[in-house]
Structure 1
Amino acid sequence: MTQALSTEEQSKDRYFQQLAKVAEDMVEEHGKDFAAGALVLAARWVAENRLGAPEDLKH
């Protein structure tokens, strides 16, 4: 039996689909090393709360 996804799960699934598409595009255009490095760097920025912060606050 398949269970319907909650609104939050549906939202998260859309983000995973978007990430997959971006990753596929990066691999196609620049290779796997670039794509993996870019995604790791993005994850680091998220973990360090550096997304959208003014440049002088990104330390």
Structure 2
Amino acid sequence: MTQALTNEEKSKDEFFQALARVAEDMVEKHGKEFASGALILAAQWVAQNRIGKKDDPMH
């Protein structure tokens, strides 16, 4: 029997699906190198706590 996903697990799964769609679009339009570089840069910004700050050029 399969166990039902929690609300948190469902939310995380939705984010993974959205991220996959964005990555696929980037690869299609600009290639693997751009997509992987952009995703790595985004991961670095998250790790460095740069996402969501007012001085962040993304906001």
Do these two structures clear the TM 0.5 threshold for a shared fold by scoring above it? Answer: yes
Question: Taking structure 1 as the reference length, what is the TM-score of the superposition?
Answer: 0.88
Moved segments of 4+, more than 2 Å: none
Q: CA RMSD in A?
A: 1.3
Structure 2: runs of 5+ lacking an equivalent: none
Percent of aligned pairs sharing the same letter: 70
Query: 1:46 aligned to 2:50?
Result: no
Residue type of the partner of 2:11? S
Say how many residue pairs are matched: 56
> What SS does the corresponding residue of 1:55 show, helix, strand or coil?
coil
Match of 1:19 in 2: 19
Question: Taking structure 2 as the reference length, what is the TM-score of the superposition?
Answer: 0.88
Match of 2:5 in 1: 5
